[in-house]
Structure 1
């Protein structure tokens, strides 16, 4: 992949960009296998590749400069803004949205937030694209001071961006690196972006998490569901379920299968519940809750547990519960093989028997690894 930003040393986020893509994949496979050293008998499937560019379905852009001349991109090492509107990683609908958004910032007189002076309103622009090209736009503001101007000029943005499906304002008043705050203010009647994945419509709400790479995410959900189908469970619990993709796929494959998803984010659970109802999956239900607390309080033992935790992993408490629970199989999707290895050390009775690297993040050292654990 050729990148003018990298060549000019304006952005060095793509740390592996100079390596041929085949070497990147081989390196990630070797890294994952090394992390699981000591676990004999793991069947390693070939790594699942990604498109090398135009694969990111979302952009999280810092806004600097001025309202008249906004800079949409990242902060450079010197603290100055670097315009990344034409980053080659973004899907075309994301790229197509960024210049109209820059014009909208000027039209609505949205002063970018200045970290040094702590003045200004607009902190970030968050843009997400669906597989069919619709976009969600979120304006992260310090306060609601600019809300009336945004609403006034929104029709002009909708005219410039005819595929704009969802728009909202997020209020993040803190002077910190926290991306968003708890308050979300809708700007459009629609407040879910439809993400069509493997024949399922996932209804993504503004504060819900979805994987960055839609095509590889779809492959991840197919792979996990295939493994679950081989086990033919009657009950599945998906901890850290997010907007429910693993749970919904498991429920759709067998409508007699009882599936429960648990997640701390109420927004994500609302998305998952909406998607289940839309798909007519009465066998899938979702609950707001902490994964570890749920496991400790639940009396039943499901046939299969799915975990898809954040980078820190599931942690010792949940790993210890899984170790003593009697659960026969765990499908563990990890974005950090280091935390996966730490968790496996706490549950020695659940041994990895199959694994696959899925390259969710080309041009970087990051990847997803899907592992099937079986009680020995």
Structure 2
């Protein structure tokens, strides 16, 4: 992939962009193999499936744009070392639909007089624009503001934006009053009648709310859900726990007649999304609850036939690894965005041997990778 921003040193986030794509994928696969072998030793029973490749460009379904510059000339992108805005609205890893919408959103900043937040001076209102595109082409836009002072202006000019972007289905304002390096705050204010974005993947429509996590690569996410569902169906468990379930991607894809599936997620917003997705799809035998995944497992008093875990980068940690090791659960599917913590967690569960593994290139042009493993009790 060629990128003018990278060539001009305006943005160097895609650190592997100069590496041929086939070499990127093979390098990630070898790194995952080496990490698992280094922590677990040789695993003769482990079979690596062919890696899942992504489109090299236009794959990222969510743009996290820092707003800089001025009202008349806003920048949507990142900040440089001095805190000045660097415009990246033509970023090649974003989906074509997002790239097409960003110029109109920049015009909206000017029309509605949304003062960009000046980080060094700590003044201004509009901090970030978060834009998500569904596989259907619909968009969700979130304005991250320092306060509610500009809400009247956003509401007043919003009808024009909706006419200019007919694919724009969900709009909200997020309030982030603190001066700190985070993307969003806790308060979300809906500005459209619709408050959820449907994300159709692999025959299941997932329900995405503004503050819910979703995989950033829809094509590879669909392959990930399909792979896990295939492994689960091969094992044919009567009961499944989906820990760190998010909006229910794994749980809903693994649901089947006669199978009890329980999804646990700390975010109540994501749990509501998961429940709505199950209801809309008419999927039964699935329940979702908000709570800490480790605490749920330790206090449940029962053990399912199979557990799916999809933790954040820090992994599942010693406590949940220890519970899985001693629980007697027969199978675990572990989906990880950090092979370092994956290897450490698997080393803490020696009775659960990896028998299948697959690398999924969720983040082309970067060193980041998703790897999923099927574990079987020895």
Normalising by the smaller structure, the TM-score range is: over 0.9
| CA positional deviation for 1:78 | 3.4
Distance (Å, rounded) in 1 between the aligned partners of 2:178 and 2:106: 24
SS of alignment partner, residue 253 of structure 2: helix
Distance (Å, rounded) in 2 between the aligned partners of 1:136 and 1:97: 11
237, 240, 263: which is aligned to 1:233?
A: 237
Please name the residue that 1:82 is paired with: 86
SS of alignment partner, residue 223 of structure 1: helix
| CA positional deviation for 1:279 | 0.9
1:165 aligns with 2:169: yes
1:311 aligns with 2:307: no
1:216 touches 1:358 (CA, 8 Å); kept in 2?
Answer: yes
5 Å matches for 1:1-376? 1-37=1-37, 38-41=41-44, 42-251=46-255, 254-376=256-378
| CA positional deviation for 1:77 | 2.9
Q: List runs of 5+ in structure 1 lacking aligned partners.
A: none
| CA positional deviation for 1:165 | 0.2
Distance (Å, rounded) in 2 between the aligned partners of 1:55 and 1:142: 30
SS of alignment partner, residue 6 of structure 2: helix
Matched positions, count: 374
2:83 touches 2:120 (CA, 8 Å); kept in 1?
Answer: no
1:313 touches 1:334 (CA, 8 Å); kept in 2?
Answer: yes
* Cα deviation digits, residues 94-134 of structure 1 (max 9, x gap): 11111110000011111111111110000000000001110
Distance (Å, rounded) in 2 between the aligned partners of 1:326 and 1:121: 53
TM-score computed with the length of structure 1 as normaliser: 0.99
Distance (Å, rounded) in 2 between the aligned partners of 1:255 and 1:86: 46
SS of alignment partner, residue 176 of structure 1: coil
1:39 touches 1:351 (CA, 8 Å); kept in 2?
Answer: no
TM-score computed with the length of structure 2 as normaliser: 0.98
| CA positional deviation for 1:39 | 4.3
| CA positional deviation for 1:337 | 0.5
Distance (Å, rounded) in 2 between the aligned partners of 1:114 and 1:238: 42
1:63 touches 1:113 (CA, 8 Å); kept in 2?
Answer: yes
User: Aligned Cα RMSD in Å?
Assistant: 0.7
Distance (Å, rounded) in 2 between the aligned partners of 1:207 and 1:241: 14
1:65 touches 1:112 (CA, 8 Å); kept in 2?
Answer: yes
Distance (Å, rounded) in 2 between the aligned partners of 1:119 and 1:11: 25
Q: List runs of 5+ in structure 2 lacking aligned partners.
A: none
2:329 touches 2:377 (CA, 8 Å); kept in 1?
Answer: yes
Distance (Å, rounded) in 2 between the aligned partners of 1:299 and 1:74: 48
